Chains A and B, each alone.
Chain A
Amino acid sequence: MTLRFAPLSAWSRTAHAGFAFLPLFALMLGADAPTAKPAAKAKAKLVADQTKVNPTEVAKPDAEKGKKALAALKELKAAVDKPESGNSASSTAALASRPKKSITPPTMTAATIDDMLNKSLKDSKAVVSPQTSDEEFVRRIYLDVTGRVPSIDEMRAFLHSRDKDKRAKLIDSLLKSHAFATNQARYWRDVISYRAPNETPQQINYPSFESWLSDEFAKNKPWDEVVHEILTAKGANTENGATAFSLAQMGQPVELAGEVSRVFMGIQIQCAQCHDHPSDKWKREQFHEFAAFFAGVRQAQIVKRDPANKQPAVFGIIAVKGAQRYTMPDKKDPTVQIPMNPKFFVGEHSPSHVGLKTDDRRELLASYVTGQDNPWFAKAFVNRVWGSLMGEGFYNPVDDMGPTKESHNTEVLDAIASQWQKGGYDVAWLYRTILNTHAYQRESRSTNSAAGRTRFAANCPSRLRADQIFDSLAQALGLPVETFARPNANAARMAMAKKLEKGKEKAGEKDKDVSVAQAAAMQTNRAQNGPRGKFNKTFGVDPSTPNDDVMGTIPQALYLMNSQAVNNNLRATPNSMLGELLKSTADNRVVLETLYVRVLARRPSAKEIQVCGHYLEQVGNRVEGFEDILWSLLNSTEFISRR
């Protein structure tokens, strides 16, 4: 059935323009407040974002368009006039029909995974890379779990311990640290932000997302519950950090459908937005049926911008109540819109849903996506975690999975995913199990070696994420991450840092003079333009990018080579890290070892001691020589790599 009427999306766009379509919005919103016209009108204003389009464009539609719009309006009004009768009942029924979550504790251990992998490695006669030394292990585990290199003390404690289970114990303790939660939150922030069609961070509020998500990880909240909150998030981004995901997609059903599928299910169904998927089984209808779950979701200004009182806007996600139609443009004639009902594309038996309320549509969607009957939800997370810990996933890129995609050792992925899913999505269990495998703890190998070419016969070296490099740099140079400057080294900068700290406190609503909106704006500004934010702009990479495709850039090299931040702080001045180190000992060997441990978390090899010794002799100036050595270590591939 093909119905001819103007697309809803077009209305909402034009409604942003101003007065012309306000009655329509009032009508849509009025479904739950039919007597309160002024309130509805105010709400409608909230819906409009800052986009300003010429009203005449809207006010003077051609006759044909006008007719279409009028017909559609009538249809919509009819739907809104009797919304509640069918809605509640069908919503309840649909939600009730979904299976309840059940928990079967996993029986799988790290050894189970190793057995499965070893069998396939044996079959392939691959050269398997040996287990890492404690020195290699401790750097890797700190970077992977906490997002930074270990401090000298942490390294020493681990290396000196004679406990047989020290690796397992370190894994347990690091997984309980807040650094693990923070590291995870930053990773997922990047997963979302690097593909966000909305490029205005002020509208999204990533700091709010980060702090919400790190709390969830700190509580080891099951992954399905975390994603459920993301998929059904409503309200102001200051109140609910989980809204960031939908705000990053500007609340647009089409963008939401594509990203929910890619990020949480590893399926790139958005290719089917315009045509049947060229290399997978997804059909165009299936994409739009999925997108129909998001009908009625809107990005809105929850608190309106008020320039007179220096109040920035606060954005959020609202669910427009009442009947919402989602339509798919006809392929042959895009002006023809075909109404679509929500239907989940995974599994054979998902019904097509009619007459649901906006909130219930998203509840139902969340239940489908995170349900234990959706294998892709578990596989997507496991594949990502495995990919980041091993340097390559079972499927690569990690977010391009699907029934017909090429994968390796699929039986291992399926086994882990299935146990994890039945076990109720325990994130810490998943990490603990993988981190304890021999597979994870193998030495890294380049792809030009036999072990490097065979999947999972070695760990793959990969490039660190921006946050990891920033923290490692601060640690190597002995700088606090908040200011990235030496105490007393730069009074102005310290004062600025203090000011920013104050801003942070205000963001915590301690100061009632600062509104929530102002505090949020300050926090976003700090996240964008503070030392870490600036660094991330230069060094950031979309974490869904396959390892081999992550390339260094000229601005990154320029930063490490020439920036004041690096060069002023590596110099041997009276109170700098290197200055104090050189003062503390006359033994060049000790200085060299300390620099290697600080920067690369390992001792130098005999060859490296020789190269550096020779260099010091050549330069003939101890201070200059060591400054150059420190510079070289910070500019080395190894410093920015996970190995």
Chain B
Amino acid sequence: MPEKTIVNVRMNGDGVISRRGFVQSVGLGVAGLAAASFTDLVALQAEELRKKQMACILLWMSGGPSQMDTFDPKPGTTNGGTIQSIDTAVPGIKIAQYWPETAKMMKDIAIIRSMTNKEGNHQRATYQLHTGYAPSGTVKHPAFGCVAAAELGDPKFDLPHIVSVGGAGGTVGAGMLGVSYEPFQVANPLQLPENVATPVPTHRFTRRLGLLQSLENSGFAATGGADRVREHHSVYKQTAGMVLSPRMKSFDVSSEDPKLRAAYGQNAFGQGCLLARRLVQAGVTFVEVRLGGWDMHQTINDKMTTTAGQCDAAYATLLADLKKHGMLDHTLVIWMGEFGRTPKINPNAGRDHFPRAFNVALAGGGIKGGQVIGSTVESGNEVKDRPVQIVDLLASCCKSLKIDPKKENMSPLGRPIKVVDGGTVVPELFA
């Protein structure tokens, strides 16, 4: 039975297949389906549904964090001399001095120290790390998160499948996947997203929607615009559903325990991470939270304390919080930026862009924590062993989220684009 066939069959949120959808698919003449019994399909559907519980939080370090100041410290060497390393919860694994809280969570984290890439331009590298492809005018590749939303999101869910939190830089959108999987933007996690609050009381809002519907039916729908009206109505239904959804309160972090809020950090990134946990808990598939300020060309030592400090508290608290809620096993947390930074300090006491050897950290979603994968040479200039390419990383994320990396989405011109083009899963992550 081809898996594609099953995905095409509609089902509702409770996992019960719609018989009409089933019959329609058969009617379309999908080979092999007729031979399968209805019960078989329901069983397979349940498997699909289990996959749908998988979620992902991307902590995006916009600007490119320095590997020596994060998870690949080199104390006592010429390049990494001034940065101390600290012990972690896992004997033998040491990380940079700025990350004491993260160090306590090391049993859940897998560090890849041997990431390697060639792109040193912020914009192009951001695109590449988000999509797995180099940017081109031909195809707007979908961000990995949008693919995950499309693959894993329950069609009946009344909040967006993918939410992007933070003001630092932009994110990469759904591209050719279309507007349905475009990330829903939350600029400030301390406020409700733009325009979700109704300007009139709910009963009046609902009344307005009713009037709109009758006017649409007697107006444009009757005078040549039926297709347009239908499409418009489905967007409005979805939007109104979201506005009126009781789940909208997951966007409000103020209801959380003040102690927990403080642990995450009273800053946009900290509260954004808390929001991410709330959203995933509510059923959102993919949440990106961005933290800017990593582009430290000047005086890196001064800047690192603040930026890493914010990130350390939020990251560690997020992992602990997910764990406490029993969510870590099915939530992959990715910590990464678009590249690393030059091992050698520049004349402005900063570090410049360095894609050749950098690090990322993964946790949750079936990732085996408490390990370091790959390493760099003493100078930090090269990957010493086990180089990991961007496509390898994304293929591994696919494995964690149970997404088929070889699945092809069609570009508007009918060119098949794989979720991940090549790349091999890093098996150590799942050992």
A195-B137, A611-B215, A635-B212 are contacts. A554–B220 as well, Cβ < 8 Å?
no
Rounded to whole Å, the gap between the CB of B150 and the closest CB of chain A is: 14
Cβ contacts under 8 Å, B344 to chain A: 54, 56
Q: Are A17 and B120 closer than 8 Å at their CB atoms? A: yes
A278-B415, A558-B196 are contacts. A54–B353 as well, Cβ < 8 Å?
yes
Binds B, one of A110-118, A336-344, A439-447, A494-502: A439-447
Q: Are A555 and B228 closer than 8 Å at their CB atoms? A: no
Cβ contacts under 8 Å, B121 to chain A: 49, 51
Rounded to whole Å, the gap between the CB of B161 and the closest CB of chain A is: 11
B231: CB under 8 A from chain A? Answer: yes
A279-B414, A554-B239 are contacts. A562–B198 as well, Cβ < 8 Å?
yes
Q: Are B204 and A637 closer than 8 Å at their CB atoms? A: no
B93: CB under 8 A from chain A? Answer: no
A549: CB under 8 A from chain B? Answer: yes
Rounded to whole Å, the gap between the CB of A560 and the closest CB of chain B is: 9
A624 to B223, CA, bound (A): 28
A51 to B126, CA, bound (A): 13
A463: CB under 8 A from chain B? Answer: yes
Binds A, one of B13-21, B106-114, B176-184: B176-184
Q: Mark B384-397, 1 if CB is under 8 A from A, else 0.
A: 00000000000000
A471: CB under 8 A from chain B? Answer: no
Cβ contacts under 8 Å, A198 to chain B: 123
Binds B, one of A39-47, A265-273, A321-329, A410-418: A265-273
A54 to B382, CA, bound (A): 12
A397: CB under 8 A from chain B? Answer: yes
Cβ contacts under 8 Å, B229 to chain A: 637
Give the residue name and chain of the A residue nearest to B178 (CB).
A551
Q: Are A551 and B179 closer than 8 Å at their CB atoms? A: yes
Query: Which one of A53, A196, A262, A557 contacts B355 once the chains associate, using CB atoms below 8 Å?
Result: A53
Q: Are B225 and A554 closer than 8 Å at their CB atoms? A: no
Cβ contacts under 8 Å, B354 to chain A: 53-54, 57
Rounded to whole Å, the gap between the CB of A390 and the closest CB of chain B is: 14
Q: Are A446 and B123 closer than 8 Å at their CB atoms? A: no
Q: Are A452 and B224 closer than 8 Å at their CB atoms? A: yes
**A428-459 contacts to B (CB < 8 Å):** 443-449, 452, 458
Q: Are B138 and A563 closer than 8 Å at their CB atoms? A: no
A83 to B342, CA, bound (A): 39
Rounded to whole Å, the gap between the CB of A258 and the closest CB of chain B is: 5
B232: CB under 8 A from chain A? Answer: yes
Q: Are A641 and B225 closer than 8 Å at their CB atoms? A: yes
Cβ contacts under 8 Å, B224 to chain A: 443-446, 449, 452, 458, 461, 643
**A598-643 contacts to B (CB < 8 Å):** 605, 607-608, 611-612, 615, 619, 624, 628-629, 631-633, 635-638, 640-641, 643
B235: CB under 8 A from chain A? Answer: yes
Q: Are A197 and B135 closer than 8 Å at their CB atoms? A: yes
B242: CB under 8 A from chain A? Answer: yes
Rounded to whole Å, the gap between the CB of B409 and the closest CB of chain A is: 14
Q: Are B208 and A628 closer than 8 Å at their CB atoms? A: yes
Q: Are B225 and A200 closer than 8 Å at their CB atoms? A: no
Give the residue name and chain of the B residue nearest to A14 (CB).
B120
A400-B413, A551-B179, A638-B225 are contacts. A607–B218 as well, Cβ < 8 Å?
yes
Q: Are B212 and A636 closer than 8 Å at their CB atoms? A: yes
Cβ contacts under 8 Å, A400 to chain B: 413
A84: CB under 8 A from chain B? Answer: no
A640 to B229, CA, bound (A): 11
Interface size grouping (class) on chain B: 35 or more
Q: Are B196 and A562 closer than 8 Å at their CB atoms? A: yes
Rounded to whole Å, the gap between the CB of A40 and the closest CB of chain B is: 24
Q: Are B219 and A558 closer than 8 Å at their CB atoms? A: no
A636 to B355, CA, bound (A): 49
Q: Are A551 and B180 closer than 8 Å at their CB atoms? A: yes
Query: Which one of A57, A270, A635, A637 contacts B225 once the chains associate, using CB atoms below 8 Å?
Result: A637
Query: Which one of B136, B178, B226, B415 contacts A446 once the chains associate, using CB atoms below 8 Å?
Result: B226
A447 to B231, CA, bound (A): 13
Query: Which one of A56, A255, A553 contacts B136 once the chains associate, using CB atoms below 8 Å?
Result: A255
Q: Are B228 and A632 closer than 8 Å at their CB atoms? A: no
Q: What are 28 pairs between A and B in contact, CB < 8 Å?
A: A49-B121, A51-B353, A54-B352, A57-B354, A57-B356, A197-B135, A255-B137, A271-B413, A278-B415, A397-B412, A400-B413, A461-B224, A461-B228, A548-B227, A549-B178, A551-B235, A553-B179, A554-B239, A562-B243, A605-B218, A608-B218, A628-B207, A628-B208, A636-B215, A636-B232, A638-B219, A643-B220, A643-B225
A557-B240, A607-B218, A628-B207 provided; 14 other pairs, C-beta below 8 A? A54-B342, A270-B138, A461-B220, A461-B228, A555-B184, A561-B239, A562-B199, A605-B219, A608-B215, A633-B215, A636-B216, A638-B216, A638-B219, A643-B225
Binding site for B on A (CB under 8 A): 17, 49, 51-57, 60, 195-200, 249, 255, 258-259, 262, 268, 270-271, 273, 278-279, 397, 400, 443-449, 452, 458, 461, 463, 545-546, 548-549, 551-559, 561-564, 567, 605, 607-608, 611-612, 615, 619, 624, 628-629, 631-633, 635-638, 640-641, 643
